[in-house]
Structure 1
């Protein structure tokens, strides 16, 4: 199936009319995001639009290890939700955004009663450590709970993982060419049919949050 160029859940009204503040998201929903070149500015815009009680969110952003701490602080200043550095053994909960950037392992998820994060040592995957593909694939056992997005970046990391997530029942997005600094990773996702929808950067946050809305909330907005 090819991706659709569309406004998505709630259309343009999603940004103008936020979901009701009480219990807005499904309790089991999860957001995954991968980004590379140009991704820092893109993520600043996305995370600024996330509410303090956003669904549990895990992000892989390609960057050097020397920039990891300053990047986390930058994201934390723009986000209402809690932004934390990737580490092992953490139960990822609502209102928390975990960022794997320049870490010495792959940020992955261990699904169970609680959603536990791991930073797993190993070789680079798709040319990167951490790898977006590794994050996406780790969520395959719970794919129907996932809303995932692949943003601007060079190469193909995350495209195959996004396809596997979509095939397993996740809802998937890719950033469009016009708003991407480098249309590499999202182009690869679009070419594979991994992205259910191709959206401009300004639509990524509303789309992801809309896909995580409780069914009754989403129905009320239609």
Structure 2
């Protein structure tokens, strides 16, 4: 189990430091109905990671991506393909970064967060965490690592819980900070939002590139 935890930690951290969900939860905290909107976003974010992660783990286990024999080779090929896909995402992120002096354009859904209810915020967060290509690639890689390790069900649950906790911590922390010190947190969160929007593409390109190369290396080593 310890080896699997080591494999999923960088993947979970990549999900955690993704700027877009952090910006989204900050916007939900600055919305008129901050309590309900931010809580909905947090619940949807965690639910997306858990649901997609559990499905991938179940599929990896069912099709026999074990750590022995042909299953090991199949698992290595999956990691190799995922790694190549993540590197391509990194290149795309880097090419989409705003040029010097150009104001970055925020997605249209960010402007709609102000008016979102708890269910709508939860639905948006679920899509951002479980369906967004960048996060999906990380969750797929983590699910393959967990599902191919041949762990008993109890350990699978523990490892998936650890992945979810780390991946969701940067969304949960602003919600907790806002609940504890609302007025002080508003200024800090607004400054953080501005910085993240400006540097989103560059940050994600660097992180995705490193993770993609690491996955390719693991894939090659396992073939």
Q: If the length of structure 2 is used for normalisation, what is the TM-score? A: 0.24
Q: If the length of structure 1 is used for normalisation, what is the TM-score? A: 0.24
- Higher radius of gyration, 1 or 2: 2
Q: In proportion to residue count, which structure has more helix?
A: 2
Q: In proportion to residue count, which structure has more strand?
A: 1
The answer to which structure, 1 or 2, has the higher relative contact order (CA under 8 A, 6+ apart) is: 2
